[in-house]
Structure 1
């Protein structure tokens, strides 16, 4: 197998504006992020995924871009960005930028020209109609906040398509000129040193809704064009797609190894939470088995939470209600009827055992792990904030004012810092936890270090191991003649689990939730505490089933 850096990466996701403020204006910035690179390197991070940092009216957390070739002035300058990239590279940290090209802001010069002049070349950069068709309710992404994906524009005298907010008109991806612009955008940031792009809303790039004469095959081929362009500029640059779709549709995004190298594993994430809610391994096993075979250069990116809601859209309604009942029983904890707007620790009732179990699963599941800022210290959420803002509060660095995020008045911050209760910054912050050997951040450093020492988990062929305990999920990853086994007890009960097949000799404990007695000889039974987990390296294998 060819060597690809992203197979054994540790990805850390952050929004520059909520990470650290260096100049006291209340907004996080690139100089502040640059000053925290040693922290990230010490944690074990090898790749940063930066949420949009472009100039934007911020109708949608920066995902409404009005200039693809610059940095939001609140966050710094292009010079600050280049300095940040230099310092990240010095520490061996790669950077992935968010590529938001399904839509622009309605203030982008392209749309300003398009709406004001029917004869402008930019008119066909967007999708227009005189009579909007009826659309299925599932097409409306922000259910409850908007009723249609078509908006009438008085100046243009026509309706334009917008899958997201009306301030975010969709681009016409079938237009070759738009494709050329997208490649120019990627080329610009590649020249400034990024290692690839997280492609926002990938399904809507290839959907073709409302575009006259658009063919699915042509739109899908644009993914290949993007990959070819990126690889021609930087051979090891990657495309990471956001596509929350069913397994039968996922192969479209990987192609035959000629499209996206990585996809977020939304399918596995949703069934992982169903398994956690039921304390039953079957949903997790079934989800893994239902994933398609992917090209050898392709990779899944696993996560616990990211910057949006925890989506449960691919579960059945009954399954979704089970997860709601377990982790978001109150209506204000739910969003859009299909998601949860909470961070993990509050969802799990602050149970350290279950928090560790969930992250142990994250780091051991086949694929590359993604950690969102603040997860390493167990940050909470603020349900008093609207919508997705509940999980986008500023990073909590210390017990100083504003959690050490900024010296500005609290009213100047992009979102309020969590200041009250169990998850307030006085109780949950980096500085305090770094002084405590048994803190979550020190546990996170250990699991990241161990994950980097187990490339089998990111590069290997995986096998689900049958057990005699319904609550226990066990799997093995084999690569380059080596193998690692991970065993997780999803239930609040002690057990001795038997791996039905195969049998192993000399399993060496690598990482576990507590001190267990060493396993000796042929291994038939593995003790696990309630919500316990154990990683093993296999020294001698009799067989793989």
Structure 2
């Protein structure tokens, strides 16, 4: 695939480290555990692993409250174990992407301890401190994503500090040059150790309004929504100055060969596109989450794809996400039959796919009893169903007592479907969803049309989604039935029949197609097709 970068043609696999593989029986996944499963990831056929935070942390938000950006939390291992993991991954042809959490630290980070020690301290301006409002109370009406005010009073120095998330996660002041310099050094520390890129956490929060204006009320707010949705985050997220900060990160990465910068920002397409940066000098891949919340029907998905493709700046590379550590799992959203169709969609659209661990074996959200809740978001705002524990449960490697994940008690419960939803059973089953993911990944790797080819939608009616991927004169048709009823796709006059390469049931390869494609209920197919003469 001449001219393409590894992060354009490859597939990223997200690992939530607490839940992937435990090597020492303490019930929490670790680096040695990940390293022991690299063979599986190589067999599966992914190209890069993205590891959620592994830095030293009090774990108020399970690693997203960092107390040392240049170390490894002892729960996960040590720096030499991380180096060994990178070495082995590279030897197997796998890239390693780390989470980078620039918006906030832990309140136990030495920077914050020094910042809150005195108003005159050297690092006071490294965080966002403000006096009370004229009448007393917080400086603004800004709300924390995890409930309550985003301002926390500090008795010792008589000011409030700002935290977009937990009070244990004070926000860094990215308007302050010393903060940028220090955080750029963090990037260099890991790049020098061989890391292939970063997924940047909550990038749109990085800069706040310099005038500290109140956020306006949200006219769409309804009871039952998380409390922070009462306000529009007009002055606390997606500020224009954030793109200068992103460009600074990109300049650091551009000093190294072949690295990737991925940004997390839940934004509408028109605002998300700005994160590619002027002249593509920003994020290589601002994460596109829009399929996660889209209604699961053909017209809605087709419209998401159309809007996204139309919005992309010239030369920008697209990407797609169907699941992650913050959202309900695909299987729980669309059901077992359509989860196979979702797999084919994710791995055949134009752009870089990110696959969430466990989705390849069809893991579902696991019910969490009240006494088992770990997620602070759920504890702070109970009863609204905002907890993220159900999609963070341990990877199910086999059907044994610990699911092959641990010899001890897992930090979150395993799924009730463990006996059949596990790697060992599905690896031996040629018709399993794991076998489908592996076949899709192999076909994507073998066919440049699927990895980097052009994308052209086809008219397919209200129940089907169909498109052609083309590269170097080779054309592949993807047809997806988003319903539980058989459907027929009539091929346009410009396309002759062809031959099926892969079906979601893994049972139709080699079938010849004429001018129509008959799809069974909940089925997707990929076929090689040829243009009609003169077309």
Deviation at 1:17, TM superposition (A): 2.2
Deviations 1:429-453 (A, max 9, x none): 2112222222222222111111222
Contact 2:500 2:513 (8 Å CA) reproduced: no
1:367 aligns with 2:328: no
> Residue 14 of structure 2 aligns with which residue?
13
Q: Which runs of 5+ in 1 are unaligned?
A: 310-341
> Residue 229 of structure 1 aligns with which residue?
252
Aligned length: 487
> Residue 500 of structure 2 aligns with which residue?
509
Which residue, out of 272, 279, 282, partners 2:299?
A: 282
Which residue, out of 320, 332, 342, partners 1:302?
A: 320
Q: Measured at CA, do residues 220 and 368 of structure 1 come closer, stay the same or move farther in structure 2, by a change above 3 Å?
A: same
Q: Measured at CA, do residues 533 and 427 of structure 1 come closer, stay the same or move farther in structure 2, by a change above 3 Å?
A: closer
User: Matched residue of 1:220: which SS?
Assistant: helix
Tell me which moved more, 240-249 or 453-462: 453-462
> Residue 38 of structure 1 aligns with which residue?
39
User: Matched residue of 2:184: which SS?
Assistant: helix
> Residue 518 of structure 2 aligns with which residue?
527
Deviation at 1:163, TM superposition (A): 1.0
Q: Measured at CA, do residues 515 and 481 of structure 1 come closer, stay the same or move farther in structure 2, by a change above 3 Å?
A: closer
User: Matched residue of 2:388: which SS?
Assistant: helix
Question: Pairwise mapping of residues 309-388 of structure 1 onto structure 2 (< 5 A)?
Answer: 309=327, 342-349=328-335, 351=336, 353-384=337-368, 385-386=372-373, 387-388=387-388
1:175 aligns with 2:176: yes
Q: Measured at CA, do residues 381 and 182 of structure 1 come closer, stay the same or move farther in structure 2, by a change above 3 Å?
A: same
1:246 aligns with 2:268: yes
> Normalising by the residue count of structure 1, what TM-score does the alignment of the two structures yield?
0.84
Distance 2:92 2:196 in 1: 14
User: Matched residue of 1:402: which SS?
Assistant: coil
1:257 aligns with 2:280: yes
Q: Measured at CA, do residues 446 and 516 of structure 1 come closer, stay the same or move farther in structure 2, by a change above 3 Å?
A: closer
Which residue, out of 487, 502, 517, partners 1:495?
A: 487
Q: Measured at CA, do residues 485 and 173 of structure 1 come closer, stay the same or move farther in structure 2, by a change above 3 Å?
A: same
Contact 2:30 2:77 (8 Å CA) reproduced: yes
Q: Measured at CA, do residues 390 and 236 of structure 1 come closer, stay the same or move farther in structure 2, by a change above 3 Å?
A: same
Q: Measured at CA, do residues 128 and 370 of structure 1 come closer, stay the same or move farther in structure 2, by a change above 3 Å?
A: same
> Residue 145 of structure 2 aligns with which residue?
141
Q: Measured at CA, do residues 210 and 84 of structure 1 come closer, stay the same or move farther in structure 2, by a change above 3 Å?
A: farther
Contact 1:12 1:45 (8 Å CA) reproduced: yes
> Residue 414 of structure 2 aligns with which residue?
417
RMSD: 2.4
Deviation at 1:32, TM superposition (A): 1.7
Deviation at 1:540, TM superposition (A): 3.0
Deviation at 1:262, TM superposition (A): 0.7
Which residue, out of 409, 419, 427, partners 1:434?
A: 427
Question: Pairwise mapping of residues 61-80 of structure 1 onto structure 2 (< 5 A)?
Answer: 61-80=62-81
Distance 1:517 1:426 in 2: 33
> Residue 405 of structure 1 aligns with which residue?
405
> Residue 321 of structure 1 aligns with which residue?
none
Q: Measured at CA, do residues 47 and 21 of structure 1 come closer, stay the same or move farther in structure 2, by a change above 3 Å?
A: same
Distance 2:157 2:440 in 1: 55
Contact 1:2 1:297 (8 Å CA) reproduced: no
Contact 1:434 1:441 (8 Å CA) reproduced: yes
Q: Measured at CA, do residues 90 and 517 of structure 1 come closer, stay the same or move farther in structure 2, by a change above 3 Å?
A: closer
